[in-house]
């Protein structure tokens, strides 16, 4: 195992790259999709099953964990890896995004954000310094700067003002993080959909210096076209030799488009959340398992898929257990979705390494255009 | 694999027996505990995990399956084994007990029971003949006679009248079941807590002739002392060379007492249901994982247990995920409980085979008397 954090690009195809991030807890093959383990669990999955889908790294949510069971408790219990029984790398977000989306009665200042817990109404404070402390207590391998971002669309001056505060917070995050060999700190580019602001943000981050760089502030309501518009230039503003992470993305076609534009890492709750609501991702599109057309269908979700849900169960069974509200429905559909996402990433990595990304992407879209297999 | 249904007693210790039931779908080591897979799933478990706990056979509920997804649909899809991805033996109950406990607006006659579904209010009819048909459509390996039983305590004349109708229904079940090589039909002894009625029922069943015999009508409110009182004589009224099945039992000490009294098979929702409500069974008693005393406890539920929940997770983690309402809480606690129950059965089988059941039972009770390990 590497004793320090590192990143090697091993292959390129157009703007897309494939490579490996090395950490003391294991390698992360890129482009990488990180399943989200919000409250110290990828919902409805055992960690060994998450690993079996091909995941090299999980994402943990600082906001949720600081409220329950608390970072101090996780630290006393030996850190987040031991706590949740996942010994491979973990990336934690800074808590900033979820304070904005989940908490009540928040009050933001240059210093940080004061807010009330959505669980019990208790009062808490997050700042760059406190976020770094929490992520250190959790034992996170990849720590994210504490930042702030407005929902889009937003007036340019709002986006600019917010970005500049995030850059000051990035410096404070860097200072508070200190020197922690084997652990990485990532900066987060902001600037909405305005190229000049993205450039200003990238310059500020590179000036400070980070182990990796996230494209932040996207997937917040701007739509895929606007997101791809930003991704046409934003990754190129960030250092070539560091991983580039697109936060909170996305749907399979978002992922493919982002990888084509030079993104190395992504995360999203979509595969696990959809699993619980009866949506399954397949090469031919989305299957809504609750639909009555699956009631008598003996076929698996996807005949070419090797996940446990597809190897062992019919659509009829998955329909039945979803309708009956059985936990196994969430377990099997989540497993299938995570398997699908990881298989997509493996396909992208192989295609980039072999210089056939365009053909891979063309086939990806062609299969989806066929639509889901028709019912019997 | 055996092509026919059979039972061999391989060891005895007092009234207790250990042996093996052979079926075309595999062997069932006795005494056996059957996890309950009500709606074609043992809740919160994948079937391979149920098998990994040591289960040789599952129980399926005719009442639930006939209503959703329906026996006819399961038959079209290849039977219950394929449907739920469990290729080993399945025992199905007759539906009678749950019609009484779950359905609304039921109307019973000599012919059978008309009732409305608790799911959608639709009207259905169950009789010995229809129950046999449903269990055949499901593909059940061990089919139970359709019977009826009053909740206890009940006046003796009510119990006697009900028992005699159940015996007439047993004959009709036998006639309707016909000759199905490799599949077994079990009769169910009734008679409440009255020895003369139990004797009359046993005699009627033996007269008809079955592949196995259940002690029915217990665990319906009479308490452990009264249940053991019946078990002191009831199993001895049933043929020595056939399996004896105590339906719906029970707690670990119920199981131990029943095995001591000559019972070979049992089933209960307790380990899976308790798993979902945060109760874990251990050698030293029950752990209520929701209690605040577990919040900082780094130890597993049971330090001697080898199940995935105990190998991978602290009480603190299990407490956290239970409090947070995470699905993994049900998954891990159910797995632990099923593992505990199967390990108890394996211990009982070994002790009987080696003629040391009394010592095993004494140690079982002594450990429980120690109580759960104290918190840190």
A208-230 pLDDT, tens digit each: 999 999 999 998 888 999 999 99
Angle made by CA atoms B363, B368, B372, in degrees to the nearest 5: 135
Q: Is residue A221 part of a domain?
A: yes
Q: What does residue A150 show for φ and ψ, rounded to 5 degrees?
A: -80, 150
CB contact under 8 A, B298 and A326: no
Q: Is residue B371 part of a domain?
A: no
User: Same domain, yes or no, for A23 and A138?
Assistant: yes
Instruction: Evaluate the CA torsion angle B206, B207, B210, B215 in order and state its sign.
Output: negative
Q: For residue B51, with 0-12 CB atoms within 10 Å meaning exposed, 13-18 middle and 19 or more buried, which class applies?
A: middle
User: Same domain, yes or no, for B131 and B244?
Assistant: yes
Distance of alpha carbon B320 from alpha carbon B295, whole angstroms:
7
Do residues A190 and A203 make contact, with C-beta atoms less than 8 angstroms apart?
A: no
Residue A281: CB atoms within 10 A of its CB come to 25
Q: Comparing C-alpha atoms, which of B340, B198, B318 is closest to residue A69?
A: B318
Q: Is residue B114 part of a domain?
A: yes
pLDDT band (50, 70, 90) for residue B315? very high
Residue after which a domain boundary falls, among A238, A268, A298: A268
Of A68, A85, A321, Cβ closest to residue B320: A68
Known catalytic residue at B358? no
A chain contacts of residue B68, beta-carbon cutoff 8 Å: 320, 323-324
Q: What is the pLDDT of residue A156?
A: 94
Distance of alpha carbon B83 from alpha carbon B65, whole angstroms:
12
Do residues A355 and A13 make contact, with C-beta atoms less than 8 angstroms apart?
A: yes
CB contact under 8 A, B330 and A330: no
Whether B312 and chain A come into contact, CB under 8 Å, resolves to: yes
pLDDT band (50, 70, 90) for residue B375? very low
* Helix/strand/coil for A18: strand
User: Same domain, yes or no, for B136 and B234?
Assistant: yes
User: Same domain, yes or no, for A321 and A260?
Assistant: no
CB contact under 8 A, B331 and A331: yes
User: Same domain, yes or no, for B260 and B318?
Assistant: no
Q: Is residue A376 part of a domain?
A: no
Q: Is residue A374 part of a domain?
A: no
Do residues A343 and A310 make contact, with C-beta atoms less than 8 angstroms apart?
A: no
Q: Is residue B229 part of a domain?
A: yes
Q: What does residue B280 show for φ and ψ, rounded to 5 degrees?
A: -115, 130
Instruction: Give per-residue pLDDT as tens, B116-171.
Output: 998 999 999 999 999 999 999 999 999 999 999 888 889 999 999 999 999 999 99
Q: Is residue B18 part of a domain?
A: yes
Q: Taking residues A337-351, what's their average pLDDT? A: 98
Domain containing A185 equals 6-268
Total structural domains in chain B? 2
Place of tokens 């006939």: B66
Residue after which a domain boundary falls, among B234, B253, B268: B268
Q: Is residue B1 part of a domain?
A: no
Residue after which a domain boundary falls, among B215, B249, B268: B268
Q: What is the pLDDT of residue B295?
A: 97
Residue B293: CB atoms within 10 A of its CB come to 14
User: Same domain, yes or no, for B109 and B242?
Assistant: yes
Distance of alpha carbon A212 from alpha carbon A197, whole angstroms:
19
Q: What does residue B368 show for φ and ψ, rounded to 5 degrees?
A: -65, -35
User: Same domain, yes or no, for B142 and B166?
Assistant: yes
Q: Comparing C-alpha atoms, which of B264, B67, B268, B92 is closest to residue B183?
A: B92
Q: What is the ipTM of this complex?
A: 0.97
Q: Which residues pair with B244 in a beta bridge?
A: B213
Do residues B203 and B251 make contact, with C-beta atoms less than 8 angstroms apart?
A: no
Q: Comparing C-alpha atoms, which of A89, A32, A81 is closest to residue A58?
A: A89
Q: Mean pLDDT score of chain A, rounded to an integer?
A: 95
Known catalytic residue at A232? no
Distance of alpha carbon A189 from alpha carbon A204, whole angstroms:
9
Output the domain CATH number for residue A226: 3.20.20.105
Number of alpha carbons in the 13 Å side-chain half-sphere of residue A22:
11
Q: What is the pLDDT of residue B150?
A: 84
Strands of the B6-13 sheet, one edge to the other: B6-13, B16-23, B26-30
Kind of pairing between the strands at B58-60 and B90-92: parallel
Distance of alpha carbon B186 from alpha carbon B205, whole angstroms:
9
User: Same domain, yes or no, for A180 and A96?
Assistant: yes
User: Same domain, yes or no, for A263 and A290?
Assistant: no
* Helix/strand/coil for B61: coil
User: Same domain, yes or no, for A88 and A234?
Assistant: yes
Chain A, residues 210-249, CB within 8 A of chain B, namely none
CB contact under 8 A, A328 and B39: no
* Helix/strand/coil for A251: coil
Q: For chain B, give the percent of residues with pLDDT over 70.
A: 98
CB contact under 8 A, B44 and A328: yes
Whether A117 and chain B come into contact, CB under 8 Å, resolves to: no
Q: Comparing C-alpha atoms, which of B322, B223, B220, B327 is closest to residue B280?
A: B322
Instruction: Give per-residue pLDDT as tens, A111-146.
Output: 999 999 989 999 999 999 999 999 999 999 999 999
Q: Which of A254, A267, A302, A372 is catalytic?
A: A267
User: Same domain, yes or no, for A105 and A24?
Assistant: yes
Q: Which of B13, B93, B302, B372 is catalytic?
A: B93
Instruction: Give per-residue pLDDT as tens, B234-289.
Output: 999 999 999 999 999 999 999 999 999 999 999 999 999 999 999 999 999 999 99
- Is the pLDDT confidence value at A375 over 50? no
Q: Which of B13, B141, B147, B267 is catalytic?
A: B267
User: Same domain, yes or no, for A255 and A187?
Assistant: yes
């Amino acid at each position: 195992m590497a004793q320090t954090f590192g990143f090697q690009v091993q292959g390129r195809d157009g703007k897309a790259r494939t490579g490996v991030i090395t950490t003391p807890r294991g390698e992360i093959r890129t482009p990488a999709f990180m399943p989200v383990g919000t409250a110290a669990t990828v919902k409805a999955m055992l960690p060994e099953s998450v690993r079996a889908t091909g995941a090299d790294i999980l994402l943990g949510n600082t906001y949720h964990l600081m409220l329950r069971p608390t970072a101090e408790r996780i630290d006393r219990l030996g850190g987040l890896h031991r706590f949740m029984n996942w010994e491979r790398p973990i990336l934690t977000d800074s808590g900033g995004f979820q304070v904005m989306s989940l908490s009540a009665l928040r009050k933001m200042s240059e210093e940080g954000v004061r807010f009330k817990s959505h669980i019990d109404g208790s009062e808490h404070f997050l700042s760059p310094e406190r976020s770094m402390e929490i992520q250190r207590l959790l034992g996170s391998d990849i720590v994210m700067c504490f930042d702030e971002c407005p929902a889009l669309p937003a007036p340019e001056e709002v986006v600019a003002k917010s970005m500049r505060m995030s850059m000051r917070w990035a410096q404070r995050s860097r200072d508070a993080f200190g020197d922690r060999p084997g652990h990485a700190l990532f900066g987060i580019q902001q600037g909405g959909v305005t190229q000049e602001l993205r450039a200003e943000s990238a310059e500020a981050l590179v000036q400070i210096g980070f182990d990796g760089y996230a494209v932040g502030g996207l997937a917040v309501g701007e739509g895929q076209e606007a997101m791809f518009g930003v991704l046409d230039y934003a990754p190129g503003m960030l250092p070539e030799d560091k991983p580039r992470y697109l936060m909170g993305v996305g749907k399979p076609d978002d992922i493919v488009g982002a990888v084509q534009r030079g993104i190395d890492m992504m995360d999203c709750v979509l595969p696990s959340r959809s699993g619980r609501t009866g949506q399954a991702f397949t090469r031919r599109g989305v299957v809504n398992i609750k639909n009555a057309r699956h009631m008598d269908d003996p076929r698996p979700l996807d005949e070419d898929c090797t996940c446990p849900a597809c190897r062992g169960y019919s659509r009829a069974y998955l329909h039945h257990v979803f309708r009956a509200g059985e936990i196994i429905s969430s377990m099997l559909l989540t497993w299938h979705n995570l398997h699908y996402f990881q298989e997509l990433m493996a396909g992208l990595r192989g295609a980039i390494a072999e210089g056939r990304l365009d053909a891979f992407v063309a086939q990806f879209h062609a299969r989806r255009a066929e639509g889901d297999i028709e019912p019997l």
